[in-house]
């Protein structure tokens, strides 16, 4: 049974202990710690509004003073949550203090943090979803150059995952991704009268990420 995460209880940050673990166990500890740091708390339902579930947002960082947090991972999760709240992710209202000026100042700090800690981030978060969460922040709110480069980066990272000896690398166990894959095939391929290779490929090429790759 998977233990539910309780953000109201302290979770110790123990990097010296965790580095002795194997890659899978260490990745799980960092993944859990990043989750504990803050965000939407799906264990705390506040209300059902207009048919939608509204959950509490519980943070173990101070979003207004992220540069002063005591470890890298609180800072990273804080910047990720800042971007999501600025964009009113999942319909949650943007906090008043997240102004355009606040956002740009913190995005600048976020960039510097990544430059200074890239090796550690890649070592400890590359087996978690948080590496992609960081990149998505710059696809959403970076400069135009950053948006394009990050789209290219995630496209190439996905291609790099493919192992022709392991068909499992082509497949996601995420239910939302599974549904999106099915919807795309049914809506765009099944309806084709001409299912020649050329026609199918032309449909697959009409994708924003493919266009980024072609442009480069």
pLDDT digit string (tens) for 34-77? 999 999 988 888 888 888 888 889 999 999 999 999 999 999 99
106 and 157 both lie in a single domain: yes
Domain membership of residue 110 (yes or no) is yes
Q: Are residues 131 and 201 located together in one domain of the fold? A: no
pLDDT tens figures, 206-216 = 887 788 777 77
Number of domains in the chain: 2
Q: What is the pLDDT of residue 24?
A: 96
Task: Please compute Rg for the chain using Cα positions.
Answer: 20
Alpha helices, H only, 87-196 = 100-125, 130-141, 144-161, 175-185
> In this structure, are 52 and 132 located in the same domain?
yes
Place of tokens 């960092």: 30
Tokens of 146: 């950053």
188 and 200 in a single domain? The answer is: yes
What is the pLDDT at residue 2?
44
Closest C-alpha to 151, from 137, 140, 162, 139: 139
One domain for residues 157 and 76: yes
- Residue 1, pLDDT > 50, answer no
On whether both 145 and 165 belong to a single domain, the answer is yes
**Same domain as 191, residue 132:** no
3-class DSSP assignment, residue 127: coil
Long-range contacts of 68-73 (CB under 8 A, 24+ apart): 71/13, 72/113, 72/117, 72/120, 72/121, 73/13, 73/30, 73/33, 73/34, 73/37
Q: Over the chain, what is the mean pLDDT?
A: 92
**Domain range for residue 108?**
15-171
For residue 3, the model assigns a pLDDT of: 56
Q: Greater confidence, 2 or 161? A: 161
- For residue 49, is it within any domain? yes
pLDDT in tens, 2-38: 457 889 999 999 999 999 999 999 999 999 999 999 9
Same domain, 166 and 200: no
Is 166 in the same domain as 193? no
């Amino acid at each position: 049974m998977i233990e539910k995460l309780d953000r109201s209880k302290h979770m110790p940050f123990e990097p010296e202990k965790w580095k002795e673990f194997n890659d899978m166990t260490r990745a799980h500890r960092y993944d859990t710690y990043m989750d504990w740091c803050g965000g939407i708390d799906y264990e705390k339902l506040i209300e059902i509004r207009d048919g939608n579930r509204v959950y509490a947002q519980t943070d173990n960082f101070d979003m207004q003073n992220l540069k002063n947090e005591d470890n890298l991972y609180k800072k990273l999760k804080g910047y990720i949550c800042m971007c999501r709240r600025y964009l009113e992710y999942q319909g949650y209202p943007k906090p008043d203090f997240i102004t355009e000026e606040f956002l740009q100042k913190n995005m600048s700090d976020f960039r510097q943090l990544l430059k200074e800690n890239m090796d550690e981030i890649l070592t400890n978060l590359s087996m978690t979803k948080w590496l992609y969460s960081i990149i998505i922040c710059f696809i959403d709110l970076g400069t135009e150059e950053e948006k394009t480069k990050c789209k290219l980066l995630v496209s190439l990272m996905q291609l790099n995952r493919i192992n022709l000896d392991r068909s499992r690398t082509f497949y996601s166990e995420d239910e939302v991704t599974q549904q999106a894959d099915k919807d795309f095939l049914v809506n765009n391929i099944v309806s084709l009268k001409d299912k020649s290779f050329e026609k199918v490929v032309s449909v697959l090429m009409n994708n924003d990420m493919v266009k980024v790759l072609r442009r480069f």
